[in-house]
Amino acid sequence: MQTSKRERISYYLYFFGQNMFYMIIASYISLFLLNHGISEKVAASVIIAPQIWDVINDIIFGRIVDKCHLRGGKFMPWLKISWFLIPLTTVFIFCMPQELSFSAKCGWVIIGYCLWSVAYTMCDTPIFALSTAMTDKVDERNSILSIGRVTGTSGAVVATLAIESLYIGMGWKLLSISLSIVSMAMMLPILIFGKERSQVQTKSPTAKEMLRALSGNKYLIIFYIAFFLVGLTNTVQTVIPTFAQYVLGNTEKGTLLLAMAIIPAIVVAAFIPVLSKKIDKFWLYIACLAIFVFSSVIQFFMGYGSFVALSITMALRGVGLVGYNVLVYMFTPDCVEYGQYVTGVRQEGITFSIQTCVTKLSAALMSSISLLLLALFGFKAINADAVTGIVDETGAYGCWNVLTWISAIGPVFAIVILVLGYKLRDNSVSLMALCNNGEITRQECDLRISELSRKG
């Protein structure tokens, strides 16, 4: 391996801390606003502007990363800058004075959220792109990224449980400060031990060259169209709380169902580094999507009469979510290598920013689409029984539809698109990386890739 054990552990810990920051903003900013007397409709309006800016600044920053060459490396300086800025902007948001006027509170959060978005983007694109500079070995890179996603998901789970149990007693201000300290400690080691050792020297591309290179990277386009479709209908984690409260009439069961959807994914993801050495990650990804589709349909037909059966099928869906939550991030480095191989322009920054942009955009749209689908299928929270809090039969069946088979639509289309259009495989990417680093000639690389194609 090109990376040291200490360096890899530092990389894994970074995702743990990063996702703790992400969860307190992404999942709890709405609750924070409600706690400060801001209505649901106004809160939604306050949040939408920063989310739109969040998507835009991903692309802008991706280009900045590709154009700038700072002292200390291409990616590490941004991680060091964001290490200070993320906690500062996080604490700023949650230190909003209670005595501010209504409009001042809205302005405070909008400004704080926009600043936080920029700070977070400064770390999100570079930390993923750093994997291409830490090592040019595809197997090693796959292992590093997959374990990083496991620790990242673990950080999100820990943050969720901690925030849920502490925000009332500690208050948002003290909680945000405490979480920032823990997160910064987790993110610090990579700033000390991280190394950019595999850097391909290329001149800074012009805007025209970057656009041409992106349009020429067909596998990047194909993969993220498929990924966007999967994310667009991934209603599981969004609809489970609504389903638990308004259909099951028990929010604690919602917590258990979320755990069943997340924990199996973490366990299975731990074996991805080993599996990816024996099975090409492309087929692992397809298998995960297929498992998710199959278990979603099975869950729909089994119904929710038995909570045990419901939990089991949710766990199977959790296994399928490994593809969406873990494996998907292992494909972007391959697209970087392919893009340079066919266009001559290496664009880690813009390529990884597209990953971040599509992830955020699909998540934002999915939240709105979930609400629209619930309404379309006859679900109305306002019709919930005054005593039990449970909606009528039509609403319950509508929520069940959205939670189960609806979420399988995106993966079905994704499987078809990927199987027919995405032809990059680990062996060929390894050869492209060698060629991009000047270790083998283009002619030799083409010949060996052709041999692999004939054998495959």
pLDDT tens digits for range 123-175: 887 888 888 888 877 778 878 887 887 888 888 878 877 886 787 788 889 99
The answer to the question of residue 180 being in a domain is yes
Are 161 and 266 found together in one domain? no
The answer to the question of residue 436 being in a domain is no
Flag the least confident range among 17-26, 66-75, 118-127, 223-232: 66-75
- The pLDDT score that the predictor gives to residue 202 is 47
Q: Share the mean pLDDT of the chain.
A: 84
Are 140 and 276 found together in one domain? no
The answer to the question of residue 332 being in a domain is yes
Count Cβ atoms within 10 A of the Cβ of residue 302 and give its class: 0-12 exposed, 13-18 middle, 19 or more buried. Answer: middle
- The pLDDT score that the predictor gives to residue 201 is 47
The answer to the question of residue 342 being in a domain is yes
Are 211 and 107 found together in one domain? no
The C-alpha atoms of residue 415 and residue 171 are separated, in whole angstroms, by: 45
Are 311 and 178 found together in one domain? no
Are 170 and 225 found together in one domain? no
- The pLDDT score that the predictor gives to residue 376 is 87
Are 183 and 246 found together in one domain? no
- The pLDDT score that the predictor gives to residue 66 is 65
The answer to the question of residue 202 being in a domain is no
CATH code for the domain in which residue 35 is found: 1.20.1250.20
**Parent domain of 272:** 207-424
Q: Which of the 8 DSSP states describes residue 71?
A: T
Are 184 and 216 found together in one domain? no
The C-alpha atoms of residue 204 and residue 145 are separated, in whole angstroms, by: 26
The answer to the question of residue 439 being in a domain is no
313 near 299, Cβ under 8 Å? yes
Number of structural domains, the chain?
2
346-370 pLDDT, tens per residue? 777 777 777 777 877 787 677 667 7
The answer to the question of residue 148 being in a domain is yes
pTM: 0.73
The C-alpha atoms of residue 284 and residue 142 are separated, in whole angstroms, by: 12
Question: Token match 């709105």: residue?
Answer: 368
